[in-house]
């Protein structure tokens, strides 16, 4: 545990519908992708309105506010801020007014050439008010629009200049546009509900508003809605793709389907592979809520060891990794999970979790289980060793803080107090998503980065 995803985005065009409310429900379904702040921007009679701020979606938006925001188009955003990006002015969507009109922009991911682009525009006189990549993207689109025949053409031109991860939604006064980076690092799909057209980070957001999944946006593709008609530009598409493998291991909600692959089935496959690779004599399998539960089920199915609830989770505290400071993260672990004594007392336990990054969480859990009466605690991780930082949106770029970078498997086992410790092999990782239409980025495990 302790990875950080960047954000989730949602957008809808519906000339007859309640776009603000649909976006609210869509963001609610994407809340797991970011919990620091959220926002919704809408177009009504060509006028742009926006409300955003700190907190969860359900706390930020009231019935009266949604009625006030309602329009024929909307984009929404939930944000994980990261430890160096907490400023409230960074909340999205970002809005700007320029000579061609108004724009609202929201995105998920991280650019690796953001500083270079920002410096270029600052030398041209641009003044930046946030520290986000989204503002850089907005400037590039606005500049490109001055020399392009349309907003969608400007977005296509901007995509050519951006390097890194970005699933992007853009709203002008007349058009709703979505784009995915040419590597496909982050997911983005298209859905329909009647005449409404929806773009979302995950299919679970489509389910939340009873929309029907149509297809995934291709890596490099720009799509847009104009007068209720969906259009596509694939000039930036390539033959290779690099979806972040952690979407299947951890980030995405397990009821989502990404690029043709069920997230639930991918996690079941990871658990089954763990069982084939790590045969353990035990009495019960438990998963660490919530991200380890499905892999634990896969382990149980393959091994034949019964699965049971191992922890009671405090539902009133956010996922541990959302806490940006190390001290608050450690405190959160202690109040987040409580072992279920009736399940583990007097038993040999296989505990399945999704990954070890810093080691903050996992280093405490075996002791909690022993204190609850477990006689043996075997820790299995449904991912390989996390040995290298990510620069594409997981907000973890310091190699020296990685648990597996600093210690061998045996040293980690001793430090966390487990009777055994095992990881998913790289060979098995490559087999967990057989139905995926995308390739994968696994640089955090292999140091093989898709972009230099």
| CATH class (in words) of the domain with range 7-241 | alpha beta
How many C-beta atoms surround the C-beta of residue 421 within 10 A? 22
Rounded to an integer, the average pLDDT of 186-197 is 97
Q: Residue 324: its pLDDT value, please?
A: 46
pLDDT digits (tens, 9 = 90+) for 192-223: 999 999 999 999 999 999 999 999 999 999 99
pLDDT digits (tens, 9 = 90+) for 17-74: 899 999 999 999 999 999 999 999 999 989 999 999 999 999 999 999 999 998 999 9
Split at pLDDT 50, 70, 90, the class of 86 is: low
pLDDT digits (tens, 9 = 90+) for 231-288: 999 999 988 899 999 999 999 999 999 999 999 999 999 999 999 999 999 999 999 9
Domain positions in the chain = 7-241, 262-438
pLDDT digits (tens, 9 = 90+) for 298-314: 999 999 999 999 999 88
The active-site residue, picked from 7, 19, 390, 441, is 7
Q: Residue 320: its pLDDT value, please?
A: 43
Rounded to an integer, the average pLDDT of 123-127 is 88
Q: Do 7-241 and 262-438 come out as alike in CATH topology?
A: no
Averaged confidence pLDDT in the chain: 91
> Cβ distance 189 to 206 under 8 Å?
yes
7 catalytic? Reply is yes
Distance CA 240, CA 110 (A): 19
pLDDT digits (tens, 9 = 90+) for 388-399: 988 887 766 678
Phi, psi (rounded to 5 degrees) for 52: -155, 160
| CATH class (in words) of the domain with range 262-438 | alpha beta
Q: Residue 331: its pLDDT value, please?
A: 57
Alpha carbon distances (Å) from 302 to 305, 355, 379, 412, 420: 8, 20, 17, 26, 19
């Amino acid at each position: 545990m302790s990875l950080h995803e960047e954000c989730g985005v949602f957008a809808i065009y519906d000339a007859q519908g309640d776009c603000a409310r649909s976006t609210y429900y869509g963001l609610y379904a994407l809340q797991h992708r970011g919990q620091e702040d959220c926002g919704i921007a809408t177009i009504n009679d060509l006028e742009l309105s926006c409300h955003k701020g700190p907190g969860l979606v359900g706390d930020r938006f009231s019935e009266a506010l949604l009625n006030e925001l309602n329009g024929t188009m909307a984009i929404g955003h939930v944000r994980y801020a990261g430890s160096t990006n907490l400023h409230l002015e960074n909340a999205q969507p970002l809005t700007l007014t320029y000579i061609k009109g108004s724009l609202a922009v929201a995105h998920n991911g991280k650019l690796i050439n953001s500083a270079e682009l920002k410096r270029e525009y600052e030398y041209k006189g641009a003044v930046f008010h946030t520290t986000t990549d989204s503002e850089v993207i907005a400037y590039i689109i606005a500049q490109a629009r001055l020399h392009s025949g349309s907003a969608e053409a400007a977005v296509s031109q901007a995509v050519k200049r951006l390097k890194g991860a970005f699933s992007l939604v853009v709203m002008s006064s007349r058009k709703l546009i979505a784009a995915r980076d040419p590597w496909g690092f982050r997911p983005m799909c298209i859905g329909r509900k009647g005449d409404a057209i929806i773009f979302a980070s995950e299919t679970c957001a489509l389910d939340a508003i009873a929309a029907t999944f149509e297809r995934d946006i291709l890596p490099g593709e720009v799509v847009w809605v104009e007068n209720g008609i969906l259009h596509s530009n694939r000039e930036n598409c390539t033959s290779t793709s690099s979806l972040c493998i952690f979407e299947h291991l951890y980030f995405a909600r397990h009821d989502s389907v990404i690029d043709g692959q069920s997230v639930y089935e991918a996690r079941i496959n990871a658990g089954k592979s763990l069982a084939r690779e790590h045969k353990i004599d035990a009495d019960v399998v438990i998963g660490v809520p919530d991200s380890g539960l499905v892999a634990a089920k896969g382990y149980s199915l393959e091994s034949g060891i019964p699965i049971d609830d191992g922890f009671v989770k405090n539902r009133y505290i956010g996922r541990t990794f959302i806490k940006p400071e190390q001290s608050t993260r450690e405190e959160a672990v202690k109040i987040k999970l409580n072992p279920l004594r009736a399940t583990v007392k007097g038993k040999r336990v296989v505990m399945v979790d999704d990954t070890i990054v810093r080691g903050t969480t996992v280093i405490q859990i075996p002791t909690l289980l022993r204190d609850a009466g477990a006689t043996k605690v075997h820790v299995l991780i449904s991912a390989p060793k996390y040995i290298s930082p990510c620069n594409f949106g997981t907000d973890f770029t310091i190699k020296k803080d990685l648990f597996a970078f600093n210690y061998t498997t045996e040293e980690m086992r001793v430090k966390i107090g487990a009777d055994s410790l095992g990881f998913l092999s790289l060979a098995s990782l490559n087999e967990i998503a057989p139905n995926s239409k995308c390739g994968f980025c696994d640089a955090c495990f292999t140091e093989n980065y898709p972009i230099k």
